[in-house]
Amino acid sequence: MSEAETISRLAAKGDGVTQSGRHVKGAVPGDVVSEDGTIAAGPHRIEPSCNHFGTCGGCQLQHADEETLRAFVTDRVVNAARGQGIEPDRLLDTHLSPPTSRRRATLHAARLQNRIALGFREAGSHRIVDLVQCPILAPKLAQYLSPLRDLVCTLGGKGAVDVGLSLCDQGLDLNLGHIELDGLVATEKLLDFARDTKAARVSMDQGFGPDIVWEPEPVTITLSGMPVLMPVGAFLQATRDAEKRMVADARAWLKGSSPVVDLFAGLGTFAMALREGRKVLAVEADRAAHLACKAAAARAPGQIFTLHRDLFRNPLQPSELERFAAAVLDPPRAGAKAQIAQIAASDLSRVVYVSCNPSSWSRDAATLVEAGFKLEELRPVGQFRWSTHVELVSLFTRSS
Residue 353 in contact with residue 376, Cβ under 8 Å? no
Whether the upstream peptide bond of residue 259 has omega within 30° of 0, thus cis, is yes
Whether the upstream peptide bond of residue 139 has omega within 30° of 0, thus cis, is no
- Residue 121 has phi, psi (to 5 degrees) of -80, 155
Q: Is 371 helix (H, G, I), strand (E, B) or coil?
A: coil
Tell me how far apart the alpha carbons of residues 140 and 273 are, in angstroms, rounded to a whole number. Answer: 25
> Which of these, 358, 351, 284, 347, lies nearest to 321 by C-alpha position?
347
Taking the mean position of all CA atoms in its chain, how far away is CA 337? 20
CB atoms within 10 A of CB 194: 20
Residue 283 in contact with residue 263, Cβ under 8 Å? yes
Active site residue 134: no
Residue 346 in contact with residue 325, Cβ under 8 Å? no
Q: Is 218 helix (H, G, I), strand (E, B) or coil?
A: coil
- From the list 50, 56, 168, 356, the catalytic residue is 356
Residue 341 in contact with residue 315, Cβ under 8 Å? yes
Taking the mean position of all CA atoms in its chain, how far away is CA 137? 14
> Which of these, 357, 139, 101, lies nearest to 243 by C-alpha position?
101
| Residues found in the chain | 400
- Positions annotated as catalytic residues are 356
